[in-house]
Amino acid sequence: MTRARRSTARLRHIVTDTLGLLIVVVVTTAGLQDRDGGRLVLERAKMKMPSLVLIWADGGYAGKLIAHAQHRFRILVTVVKRTDKRPTFEVLPRRWVIERTNSWLMRTRRLARDYERLPEHSEAFVKWTMIGLMTRRLAPAKGRRPWQADRSK
C-alpha cells in the first residue's frame, strides 16, 4: 500500500481575445482533467461575453467538450493540433496567442511560483497582472516611444 502524496500544483485555464488580453481565468488543481476545467472556463466566458461564438483550443480540450460547448453554450470550439511531422519548432496558428499571454504572466514573480493557498487568490493575481499590462498599454510611460522618430538630432 502506498501513501497518497498531497500535490499543490495548479492549472490555469484562460480565455483571451485575439490580442492576448484576458477575458476569463479559472485556476484548478492539477488533478482535474483539462476537459473538466474547460467546461468551467467556457461557462464563465459565456456569462462574461455572451457574443462569444468561436474558441481556438489546445489538444487537451478535445473530446466531449466540443459537443458540450456547441450544445450548451452555442460556442464552436476548434482544436489546434500539433503535428509531429516537423522535427523543428513550429509556431502553431492561433495557439501562440495563449502562449504569449502565459509568457507575459510568467514575467510576474508572484505568478512564476505558486505561493497562494487558494485557487481564488491565484485567479486574483492573474487578473491583477493583466490589469497592470493593459494599463501600461493604454498609458505608457513618458518619453520617446519606440515607434516615434528621434527628434533630438
- What's the gap between Cα 30 and its chain centre? 15
Res 6: pLDDT: 55
Question: What are φ and ψ of residue 12, in 5° steps?
Answer: -105, 120
Q: Using alpha carbons only, what angle is made at residue 52 by residues 46 and 56, rounded to the nearest 5 degrees? A: 105
Closest Cα partner for 22 from 109, 124, 113? 124
Res 24: pLDDT: 94
Q: Each residue's pLDDT tens digit in the chain (153 positions)? A: 444 455 568 888 999 998 888 999 999 888 888 888 889 999 999 999 999 999 998 888 888 989 999 999 999 998 887 777 767 777 777 878 888 888 888 888 878 777 778 888 889 999 999 999 888 888 877 776 666 666 665
Closest Cα partner for 79 from 90, 68, 94, 91? 94
Res 1: pLDDT: 45
Res 25: pLDDT: 93
Res 4: pLDDT: 47
Q: How far is CA 146 from CA 19, 46, 141, 151, 152, in A?
A: 19, 37, 12, 12, 14
- What's the gap between Cα 126 and its chain centre? 10
Res 54: pLDDT: 92
CB distance 55 to 77 below 8 Å:
yes
Question: What are φ and ψ of residue 24, in 5° steps?
Answer: -145, 145
Q: Pull the grid cell for residue 82.
A: 500539433
Res 91: pLDDT: 72
Q: Pull the grid cell for residue 8.
A: 499543490
Res 2: pLDDT: 44
Separation of alpha carbons 134 and 132, rounded Å:
6
Rounded CA Rg of the chain:
19
Identify residue 133 by its one-letter amino acid code: L
